[in-house]
């Protein structure tokens, strides 16, 4: 029976000989992830069962990244629950402040997720790892609690939608623009409980960082995950991030006659830098059509666009320039390693001389947590992934989403623009 790559990964993690879309299956997991918002509840439910030990401490990752360094007493208490549980259960992959990063950038960087793996995380953007050819998806805290017990999870086998991108991207047009374009075309529920399989010559030319960006925002179209078949770019990344040489797994690609619910095919050669306007990621407009939107704040960072290539692009545009006097720029490297790379390359100096400020790796303002919360009426242009009402602070604030290139150019002008 022909299968897509996502279906092959699911099947390989069951005791079944075959499966089909719509089946309910129990699967073995390669990794379980929790953060300082979701893991405390999972830990509480785990302890209610009376179990003394997790199924495998090597397969659990805890990352306190949302409100850390602790912004208040409540966030400090949440983080302490993770630290205590990690010590009690001897969980090696607990990443304290100073070693942590934004979880969905940190796990691939640490070589903890691999092509062909099945991964769950109590965070919706766990779908990011699909860029590696991994079946990774977000779950609730109670699902995570169950996984702590026996390393298993129930799934309904989702339908699969294929996206084929042809042509060649223009300068300053990136994976962020590509996924915003896609969400704009199909809507925030256009892939509801589906797998988005990204393919075509444009995808094959994308860097690993851009692939992570695309997979990260699959959830904004309602998808379970976004997935890309591993190729040499993937395996080169995996070899560099793992301590031991990575071996390519066989048959990690969709069969030619696999069934897809829908197939979208676009030539994106004429695509220009895009912006998602309030209050949905699907409310897409070209940056060139939004020139009168004044900005109070610009954020460059997050699990979507806080990687070193994102900082390099923004710094290239900002070098020798100044941030507009009425606009503040907040830069958040996604991990400590990225922070250090930016320091060594002189990128931090460029941002600071331009008038920007740096934060330690954290989700921070992305979810209205800290380090950049918006006041009533304020407008922010951000490289993050969501712009719902009140997402970054006051319910009467406004969030626009864009690429690092558009963010940097707009910070200089004080209004939305493009390079």
- Domain count of the fold of the chain: 2
- pLDDT of the residue at 223: 97
**Whether residues 32 and 115 fall in one domain:** yes
In angstroms, the Cα distances linking 28 to 15, 118, 119, 147, 151 are 9, 8, 9, 9, 6
Domain assignment of residue 226, given as a range: 5-246+254-266
Does residue 419 sit within a domain? Answer: no
Instruction: Indicate the residue among 211, 234, 266 that finishes a domain.
Output: 266
Which CATH number goes with the domain that contains 319?
3.30.499.10
pLDDT exceeds 70 at position 244:
no
**CA separation for the pair 194, 306 (Å, rounded):** 26
Q: What kind and span of H or E run contains 63?
A: strand 60-63
Give the burial string for 395-408 (b: 16+ CB within 10 Å, else e): eebbbbbbbbbbbb
pLDDT exceeds 70 at position 133:
yes
At 58-91, the pLDDT tens digits run 999 999 999 988 889 999 999 999 999 999 999 9
pTM of structure: 0.94
**What DSSP character marks residue 158?**
P
* Short-list 318, 313, 397, CA closest to 355: 318
**Whether residues 285 and 238 fall in one domain:** no
Determine the number of helices (DSSP H) and then strands (DSSP E) in the chain.
Answer: 14, 18
Does residue 418 sit within a domain? Answer: no
pLDDT exceeds 90 at position 56:
yes
**Mean pLDDT confidence for 289-311:** 95
Distance in angstroms between the alpha carbons of the first and the last residue of the chain: 49
pLDDT exceeds 80 at position 249:
no
Per cent of the chain over pLDDT 70 is 98
Instruction: Indicate the residue among 233, 266, 299 that finishes a domain.
Output: 266
Q: Kindly report the backbone phi and psi dihedral angles of residue 107, in degrees, each rounded to the nearest multiple of 5, phi listed first.
A: -60, -45
Does residue 51 sit within a domain? Answer: yes
In angstroms, the Cα distances linking 234 to 30, 46, 113, 134, 275 are 19, 35, 12, 11, 28
* Short-list 106, 101, 105, 138, CA closest to 119: 138
**Mean pLDDT confidence for 126-134:** 97
Class of residue 231 by CB neighbours under 10 A (exposed 0-12, middle 13-18, buried 19+): middle
Does residue 381 sit within a domain? Answer: yes
Class of residue 220 by CB neighbours under 10 A (exposed 0-12, middle 13-18, buried 19+): buried
**Whether residues 339 and 237 fall in one domain:** no
The 10 Å Cβ neighbour count of residue 290 is 20
């Amino acid at each position: 029976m022909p299968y897509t790559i996502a279906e092959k990964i699911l099947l390989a993690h069951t005791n079944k000989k075959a499966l089909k879309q719509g089946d309910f299956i129990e699967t073995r997991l390669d990794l379980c992830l929790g953060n300082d918002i979701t893991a405390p509840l999972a830990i509480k439910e785990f302890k209610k069962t009376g179990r003394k030990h997790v199924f495998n401490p090597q397969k659990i990752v805890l990352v306190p990244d949302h409100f850390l360094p602790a912004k208040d007493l409540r966030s400090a208490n949440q983080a302490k629950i993770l630290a205590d549980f990690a010590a009690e259960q001897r969980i090696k992959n607990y990443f304290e402040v100073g070693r942590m990063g934004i979880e969905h950038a940190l796990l691939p960087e640490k070589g903890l997720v691999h092509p062909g793996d099945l991964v769950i995380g109590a965070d919706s953007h766990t779908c990011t790892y699909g860029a590696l050819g991994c079946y990774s998806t977000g779950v609730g805290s109670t699902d995570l609690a169950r996984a702590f017990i026996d390393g298993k999870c129930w799934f309904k086998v989702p339908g699969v939608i294929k996206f084929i991108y042809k042509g060649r991207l223009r300068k300053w047009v990136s994976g962020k623009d590509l996924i915003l374009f896609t969400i704009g075309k199909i809507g925030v529920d256009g892939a509801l409980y589906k797998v988005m399989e990204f393919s075509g010559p444009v995808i094959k030319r994308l860097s690993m960082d851009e692939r992570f960006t695309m997979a990260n925002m699959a959830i904004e179209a309602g998808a379970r995950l976004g997935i890309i078949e591993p190729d040499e770019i993937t395996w080169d990344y995996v070899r560099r991030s793992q301590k031991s040489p990575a071996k390519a797994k066989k048959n990690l690609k969709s069969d030619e006659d696999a069934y897809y619910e829908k197939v979208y095919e676009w030539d994106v050669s004429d695509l220009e830098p895009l912006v998602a306007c309030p209050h949905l990621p699907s409310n897409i407009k070209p940056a060139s059509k939004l020139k009168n939107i004044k900005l109070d704040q610009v954020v460059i960072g997050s699990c979507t666009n806080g990687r070193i290539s994102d900082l390099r692009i923004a710094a290239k545009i900002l070098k020798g320039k100044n941030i507009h006097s009425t606009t503040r720029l907040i830069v958040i490297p996604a991990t400590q390693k990225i922070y250090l790379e930016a320091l060594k390359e002189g990128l931090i100096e460029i941002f600071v001389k331009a008038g920007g400020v740096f934060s330690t790796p954290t989700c921070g303002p992305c979810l209205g947590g800290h380090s950049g919360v918006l006041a009533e009426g304020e407008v922010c242009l951000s490289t993050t992934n969501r712009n719902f009402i009140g997402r970054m602070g006051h319910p009467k604030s406004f969030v626009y989403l864009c690429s690092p290139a558009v963010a940097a150019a707009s910070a200089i002008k004080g209004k939305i623009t493009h390079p």
